[in-house]
Amino acid sequence: MDVKTHWEKVYQTKAPDSVSWYRPHLESSFALIERTAAGPHSAIIDVGGGESTLADDLMSWGYQDITVLDISETAISVCKKRMEARAHQIRWLVADVTLAGLDKCAYDAWHDRAVFHFLNGSETTCRLCRECRAVSETRRACHR
Ligand SMILES: C[S@@+](CC[C@H](N)C(=O)[O-])C[C@H]1O[C@@H](n2cnc3c(N)ncnc32)[C@H](O)[C@@H]1O
C-alpha cells in the first residue's frame, strides 16, 4: 500500500480522537511556535498536520498566515469541516511533503509533529532537506 492510501485509510476508518497521537490541543507545539516565530504576523506551516487542532489554536491567538500540508485529503476535509467559516483563512495543501516543492523561504516557522519518523530512506531525507529550505534558517520549530 502506498503512503497516501495508507493515511487515507487511517482517517477514513478512525475517529479523530481515537488515534494514538491524538491530543485535544498541541500545547507543546504551540509553545515551540511561540518561541520560534516572531509573532502572529509570521508565516507558519504545519507539515503533516492531520486532523490536529493546532491551526485552530494558532488562529485563535491571532496568527493570520497559516498553511496546513498533509498527504491525506480526508484529514484536511475533516479540519475544514470542523473550522467551518474560519477554514477559508487557512491555506490547505494536500501534498506529499517529500515532493511538494515549497517555495524557498516562504515560511517563518515550520512545525511537524509525529510525521518525520514515518519517512524513511536517504532519498526521502534529501528531499525533505530541500523542502526545509522553505523556512528561513533561524526559525525552524520542528517537533518530532
Ligand atoms: C501521526 S499523524 C500526526 C498528525 C498531526 N501532526 C498531529 O500531531 O496530530 C502523521 C501525519 O503525517 C501525514 N503524513 C505522512 N506522510 C506524509 C507525507 N509524505 N507528506 C505529507 N504528510 C504526510 C499523515 O497523513 C498524518 O496526518
Digit-coded pLDDT (tens) for 29-70: 999 999 888 899 999 999 999 999 999 999 999 999 999 999
Chain segment 72-129, per-residue pLDDT in tens: 999 999 999 999 999 999 999 999 998 888 887 789 998 999 887 777 666 666 666 6
Question: Is residue 100 situated within a structural domain?
Answer: yes
DSSP 3: H
Torsion region of 56: left, alpha or beta (phi above 0 gives left; psi -120 to 50 gives alpha): alpha
Chain segment 125-136, per-residue pLDDT in tens: 666 666 666 676
Question: Is residue 27 situated within a structural domain?
Answer: no
Question: Is residue 24 situated within a structural domain?
Answer: no
* Residue position matching grid coordinates 498536520: 49
Question: Is residue 120 situated within a structural domain?
Answer: yes
Among 102, 99, 93, 111, CA closest to 133? 102
Q: What is the pTM of this model?
A: 0.91
3-state SS of 46-66?
Answer: EECCCCCCHHHHHHHCCCCEE
Question: Is residue 92 situated within a structural domain?
Answer: yes
**CA 94/CA 25 separation, integer angstroms:** 22
Mutate to test the pocket of ligand 1, among 70, 112, 119, 124 (most ligand atoms within 8 A of CB): 70
Between residues 2 and 55, the one the model is more confident about: 55
Mutate to test the pocket of ligand 1, among 30, 46, 115, 124 (most ligand atoms within 8 A of CB): 115
* Residue position matching grid coordinates 470542523: 82
Q: What is the CATH number of the domain that holds 93?
A: 3.40.50.150
Question: Is residue 103 situated within a structural domain?
Answer: yes
C-alpha 136 – ligand 1 centre gap (Å): 22
Q: Is 3 touching ligand 1 by the criterion CB < 6 Å?
A: yes
Domain coverage including residue 136: 3-13+41-142
